[in-house]
Amino acid sequence: MARFGVLSLAVLLGLQAAAMLVSCFDPSPLQDFCVAVDEPKSAVFVNGKFCKDPKLVKAEDFLFQGLNIPGSTNNRQNSNVTLVNVDRIPGLNTLGISLARIDYAPYGLNPPHTHPRGTEILVVVEGSLLVGFVTSNPDNKLFTKVLYKGDVFVFPIGLIHFQFNVGHGPALAFAGLSSQNPGTITIANAVFGSKPPISLDVLTKAFQVDEKVIEALQMQFKA
């Protein structure tokens, strides 16, 4: 019995060790850099991009210019996000970070959205913003705060969040994200503007409203 107990314990510890190995990952790049290229003749595929031959890498591969220029807020949401990710700076490939400039006209909104691959940290440079995020089911708890110049707020990875300019003038914020390509899912666009459209039966049951309400919302998001 003692021998069986020891054997069982060894098996259990072995399974736990295997589980730990399966869930582990290397959070750091295994080379100095991996500058992304689109159509290489001979390269290594890393993190969704091909690596440029290190001998051909230049300083411009790590540079983006123009983040000082305000984005146009002449749209329905009266906001603009200028994202600087791996597609804008090829040298970001494998480095796990990106950056965004967000411009808001008075009462401009960066609508509820998620970043499936990145946590966001936002700093207000000008103006005042009402920001918030909602936790996952079943609590769906809202954490919200009004931010002013110099304030910093964090949106955890994958959670729905938003920013709304509550001031009378323009607002400006910069955001860092913990992914070279964090992705963005704007909730309203995804639900009511999918291609092809999500079934009316699904949406009317999900939102507990009449079909005409859903059809009106879908019309707002048609290209």
- Binding residue positions for Mn(2+): 113, 115, 120, 161
Question: Which residues are within 8 A (CB) of 109 and not within 5 positions of it... i.e. 6 or more apart?
Answer: 77, 78, 79, 162, 163, 164, 165
DSSP 8-state code for residue 168: S
Distance, CA of 92 to CA of 167 (rounded, Å): 34
3-state secondary structure of 47: coil
Q: Which residues are annotated as a binding site for oxalate?
A: 110, 115, 120
DSSP 8-state code for residue 55: G
Residue 46, number of CB atoms within 10 A of its CB: 15
Nearest to 170 by CA among 111, 104, 214: 104
Helix and strand counts by DSSP (H, E) for the chain: 4, 13
Q: At what angle do helices 211-220 and 200-207 cross, to 10 degrees?
A: 110
Buried b vs exposed e over 162-179: b needs ≥16 C-beta within 10 Å?
bbbbbbeebbbbbbbbeb
Q: Which residues are annotated as a binding site?
A: 110, 113, 115, 120, 161
Instruction: List, in sequence order, the alpha helices (H) in the chain.
Output: 2-23, 187-192, 200-207, 211-220
